[in-house]
């Protein structure tokens, strides 16, 4: 099973600032990585797939990068609606499909 | 509008059973693989099970294998999860989610339902 590790667990950022979230895989997943955003009481929303392709309707301030075992989600200028929990998920070697533990982006 | 709506959650005693349903609309259901993902209170996301568009494959997480059964009825645009021998550790919000892996290699969940809560407690 591929273990996904996200860091940091919590990220405190001021509105308008840049946020950088990390996700590490226990073995290579190629570019088969997705990022999700989840707000309290809501279902997750797909942001990025293929490590760097934005899903339909996702603003350009969200960008993904990386391949192999190291991945990054960058939010270039945080908006109030971006404060949420973010998860990465690998789909290179499954089952099982595996998620990271999440990074909470909170207002500084 | 593309939509997934779960139902069937509730309170059940340990050892009991529950059947979740997920009604799909706004897309050609049979063209998509479908999945169940759960989230325990205050915790992260956990993949539970996947089924191919034509039921060509079925996979389970180790934590539910032998107790849960995923199925689908493409004529009714519906996905199901039969949960038996439920444990306290199965307490979670259960989401159904679509992935476009039938026509791509992308097994990422692009559409999610709102979730249904399952509580296992005596």
Residue A55 DSSP class:
P
Distances in Å between the alpha carbon of B26 and those of B38, B88, B100?
23, 35, 15
Verify whether the Cβ–Cβ distance A87 to B44 is below 8 Å: yes
Residue B59 sits at the chain A interface (C-beta within 8 Å):
yes
Q: How far is B77 from chain A (nearest CA, A)?
A: 21
Q: Which residue of A has its CA nearest to B58?
A: A95
Chain B residues whose CB is inside 8 A of the A32 CB are 105, 107
Q: In the A/B pair of chains, how many CB contacts fall below 8 A?
A: 60
pLDDT in tens, chain B (122 residues): 999 999 999 999 999 999 999 999 999 999 999 999 999 999 999 999 999 999 999 999 999 999 999 999 999 999 999 999 999 999 999 999 999 887 788 899 999 999 999 999 99
- Cis before residue A95, ω within 30 degrees of 0? yes
Residue B27 sits at the chain A interface (C-beta within 8 Å):
no
């Amino acid at each position: 099973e591929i273990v996904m590790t996200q860091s940091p667990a919590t990220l405190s950022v001021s509105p308008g600032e840049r946020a950088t979230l990390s996700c590490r895989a226990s073995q290579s997943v190629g570019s088969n990585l997705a990022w999700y955003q989840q707000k309290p009481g809501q279902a997750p929303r797909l942001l990025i797939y293929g490590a760097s392709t934005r899903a339909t309707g996702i603003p350009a301030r969200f960008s993904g990068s990386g391949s192999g075992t190291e991945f990054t989600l960058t939010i270039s200028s945080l908006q109030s609606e971006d404060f949420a929990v973010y998860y990465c998920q690998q789909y290179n070697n499954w089952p099982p499909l595996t998620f990271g533990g999440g990074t909470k982006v909170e207002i500084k | 509008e593309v939509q997934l709506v779960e139902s069937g959650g509730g309170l059940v005693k340990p050892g009991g059973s529950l059947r979740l349903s997920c009604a799909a609309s706004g897309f050609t259901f049979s063209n998509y693989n479908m999945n169940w993902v759960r989230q325990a209170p205050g915790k992260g996301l956990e993949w539970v099970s996947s089924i191919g568009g034509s039921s060509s494959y079925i996979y389970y997480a180790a934590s539910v294998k032998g107790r849960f059964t995923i199925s689908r009825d493409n004529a009714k645009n519906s996905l199901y999860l039969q949960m038996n021998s439920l444990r306290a550790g199965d307490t979670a919000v259960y989401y159904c989610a679509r992935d476009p892996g039938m026509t791509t290699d992308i097994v990422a969940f692009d559409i999610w339902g709102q979730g249904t809560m399952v509580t296992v407690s005596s």
